[in-house]
Amino acid sequence: MQNFTYCTPTKIIFGKGVIETLPATLEKYGKRVLFTYGGGSIKKIGLYEKVKELLKDFEVIELPGIQPNPKYNPSVLAGVRLCKEHKVDVILSVGGGSVLDCSKAIASGACYEGETWDLITGKARITRALPIVDIITLAATGSEYDNGGVISRTETNDKVGFGSPYTFPKVSFLDPEYTYSVSKWQTAAGTADAMNHIMEQYFCADTTLLNDGMCESALKALMVMGKRAYDNPEDYQARAEMMFNCTLACNGIYSCGNSSSGWPCHGIEHALSGYYDITHGVGLAIITPRWMRHILNENTLERFVKYGVNVFGIDPTLDKYEIASRAIDATIDFFRSLNIPMHLKEVGIDESRLSEMAHHVTVNEGLENAYAPLKEQDILEILTASL
Amino acid sequence: MQNFTYCTPTKIIFGKGVIETLPATLEKYGKRVLFTYGGGSIKKIGLYEKVKELLKDFEVIELPGIQPNPKYNPSVLAGVRLCKEHKVDVILSVGGGSVLDCSKAIASGACYEGETWDLITGKARITRALPIVDIITLAATGSEYDNGGVISRTETNDKVGFGSPYTFPKVSFLDPEYTYSVSKWQTAAGTADAMNHIMEQYFCADTTLLNDGMCESALKALMVMGKRAYDNPEDYQARAEMMFNCTLACNGIYSCGNSSSGWPCHGIEHALSGYYDITHGVGLAIITPRWMRHILNENTLERFVKYGVNVFGIDPTLDKYEIASRAIDATIDFFRSLNIPMHLKEVGIDESRLSEMAHHVTVNEGLENAYAPLKEQDILEILTASL
């Protein structure tokens, strides 16, 4: 077991109707609120109006239009400018993980005199941030319970992760009913995203029995509840269980004491959505099984056997490579059961830029230090197998 | 799934040698430190000297002699007095859960003008507390990652739980090597204590798939690692995995969204150690299987079947009552494998005060609202079966 430090100070307020207490929460931080949100889905479900009503005694500055794979320009830059101009006290992020990731970058940039991009790339250190409160409307990224975010810069195809002890949300409100209207496509993508978060903590060295058991349990529960939510969008129990499962999946509690896997599927997927702006969870679903097949060898075999037996109930008396192979097939079958396209060509990505992306990943993601080390040629082979 | 609020802001610093950073941590809170500890085991393992050396630039006030089932008088009262006299900035608790529970009571009382006992019983509310940093030397209670404590008042046989958002430790240092010298008796008791913490979150209504899986995984891992640590006290991996397992077991993350069980075994055990000052984990091990047999009925059967199949691998095709019965037997067998005495008479408790204790529990613990409601007669029957 490796040494580690773990701390997640965020307060989770979960369940039906919980946002009624939003004003009391925000008030602790001040009266000037930057209200960030996305493309308008919160208007369709009535949440925009609800929030405005709850904030009637606050000074509210709005930053709408934050896109999936949130963009440095214009969203982060605009948010930082608004915070400085209006001396914002607290950011209220309403939407999915993209809005919240963007809000974390804004919160950091608002307390910094230089270029916010330097905070995102790590060239400068985040030493302060505005407090962030969020209402999550999409079960997927777990951004509501971690301190990280990912920001894209279109002109350079960069998609860069950042984080700091100052960018944990103070309070995350999670009402599963606000996820009833999430489309089947996004429900499937969210399930795949969170599943991969768990896998990135499971396929690594020095795991503990407890971590392995928690990851396996989380994967099994997520597959059941993700599928139920996909089939019946207003199944409260399924939406709720899926939501909290996603919340815990990216925060590191499942890998305390493990060696880091290097998060290889995320490293590769960041190029896909950086270059092509595809849905992150769909990109992960396509990459994951091809990465699995690529790294399956005598060093990794036991992990795959454990995964196959404990997550999919595969007969443990079979040949070990047979178990591993069936486990990878079962992974694909599950994603297919959610109608996720399982080939890059189906989401508009052809072979033309695979080499360029493989090079980009090699330079930017450091996957030669991953659980199963990946060089440029490995990454290209995984991308090619994903076509 | 029930609505819930969850927040654990404590920072865990885990692993070999981590206490070297203690001075930098304490410094954030001030220079005047109340150093609390127990009966001297930290002197035997060299930790006392180590802490004194690390604190050479601090003003250190010592409160030694905190006992298991920590006492309001003299320990809590003495600690509060010392904090007020010396204007203590921060409490450093070094030892097991009893020292830390006591330190939480002291931290609360130090910021209160009235009787500290009123804060413990809930007659007055804890609204402030001194910051607490701890070094844990015994894997058991999980007090290092929760905001609760239990304090005994000898003259009234009271053993009362308390807690508040202000009594989370700021930082918990966990170095598994400091648990090498923990006796077999305490290793067994710690394992049983944490196992029961998990069971108190598992045997309840409205559980989620994720919570069930996490509890089952935690129980299985704890039994493996607890036994390994019992058999080979210097098995680092076992001590480390057992330690973090205990840390997570009492903090509520395994039951977010479940209905509360009412923690019935703890309610009953509080009388045992309140009246007889026995080792808490041993009391729990004795009570748990008798409580299980007592509450097994058609309402609770499915829980026991799940427990038996998923924790002990009992054949799921057997008759359900047979599975449940075997699961309870397996629970006893595991405790016996750690040489825990499984009868009250073996720890010096005879029938003379069972009725009095059953009445005390009925009045003070509210178990008529437990997962399986317990009236005075039920409690008496469980105690009698435990003789």
d(CA B150, CA B143): 10
| Count: domains in chain A | 2
pLDDT of residue A157: 86
Q: Tell me which residue in A1, A11, A220 faces B240 most closely, judged by beta carbons.
A: A1
Specify if A322 maps to a domain.
yes
Mean pLDDT of B364-374: 95
Specify if A5 maps to a domain.
no
What angle (nearest 5°) sits at the alpha carbon of residue A88, between those of residues A82 and A90? 120
Specify if B343 maps to a domain.
yes
d(CA B142, CA B2): 24
Q: State whether A210 and B12 contact (CB < 8 Å).
A: no
Q: State whether A241 and B208 contact (CB < 8 Å).
A: yes
Closest chain B C-alpha to A254 CA, distance in angstroms: 10
Specify if B3 maps to a domain.
no
Residue numbers in B near A18 (CB within 8 A): 3
pLDDT of residue B163: 95
d(CA A184, CA A230): 6
Same domain as A161, residue A271: no
Same domain as B272, residue B302: yes
Q: Any idea what the CATH number is for the domain that residue B58 is in?
A: 3.40.50.1970
Specify if B4 maps to a domain.
no
Specify if B226 maps to a domain.
yes
Same domain as A356, residue A246: yes
DSSP code for A71 = B
Same domain as B303, residue B214: yes
Q: State whether B213 and A224 contact (CB < 8 Å).
A: no
Same domain as B291, residue B329: yes
Same domain as B191, residue B163: no
Domain boundary among A178, A203, A223: A178
- Are the C-beta atoms of residues A38 and A65 closer than 8 Å to each other? yes
Q: Any idea what the CATH number is for the domain that residue A340 is in?
A: 1.20.1090.10
Same domain as B171, residue B205: no
Same domain as A56, residue A203: no
Chain center to CA of A198: 11
Task: List the pLDDT tens digit at each of the 387 positions of chain A.
Answer: 999 999 999 999 999 999 999 999 999 999 999 999 999 899 999 999 999 999 999 999 999 999 999 999 999 999 999 999 999 999 999 999 999 999 999 999 999 999 999 999 999 999 999 999 999 999 999 999 999 999 999 888 888 999 999 999 999 999 999 999 999 999 999 999 999 999 999 999 999 999 999 999 999 999 999 999 999 999 999 999 999 999 999 999 999 999 999 999 999 999 999 999 999 999 999 999 999 999 999 999 999 999 999 999 999 999 999 999 999 999 999 999 999 999 999 999 999 999 999 999 999 999 999 999 999 999 999 999 999
Residue B320: which domain range?
184-385
Same domain as B196, residue B337: yes
pLDDT of residue B40: 85
Nearest in space to A147 (alpha carbons), one of A4, A14, A9: A9
Q: State whether A210 and B244 contact (CB < 8 Å).
A: yes
Copy the structure tokens of residue A297: 């060898």
Complex ipTM value:
0.96
Same domain as A170, residue A63: yes
Interval B13-62: pLDDT, tens: 999 999 999 999 999 999 999 999 999 899 999 999 999 999 999 999 99
pLDDT of residue A294: 98
Same domain as B174, residue B191: no
**Stretch (H or E) spanning A14:** strand A4-14
For residue B157, pLDDT over 90 is answered with: no
Closest chain A C-alpha to B211 CA, distance in angstroms: 8
- Are the C-beta atoms of residues B238 and B229 closer than 8 Å to each other? yes
Question: Is A107 within 8 Å of chain B by CB?
Answer: no
Domain boundary among B178, B197, B231: B178
pLDDT of residue A169: 98
pLDDT of residue A40: 85
d(CA A8, CA A163): 13
Specify if A379 maps to a domain.
yes
Question: Is B11 within 8 Å of chain A by CB?
Answer: yes
Same domain as B211, residue B67: no
Question: Is A245 within 8 Å of chain B by CB?
Answer: yes
What share of chain B has pLDDT > 70, as a percent?
100
Domain boundary among B115, B146, B178: B178
d(CA B213, CA A310): 11
Specify if A2 maps to a domain.
no
pLDDT of residue A131: 98
pLDDT of residue B149: 96
Residue of A nearest to B218 (CA): A210
E strand map for chain B: 4-14, 32-36, 59-63, 90-95, 132-136, 148-153, 158-163, 171-174
Residue to test with chain B: of A206, A210, A215, most B Cβ within 10 A: A210
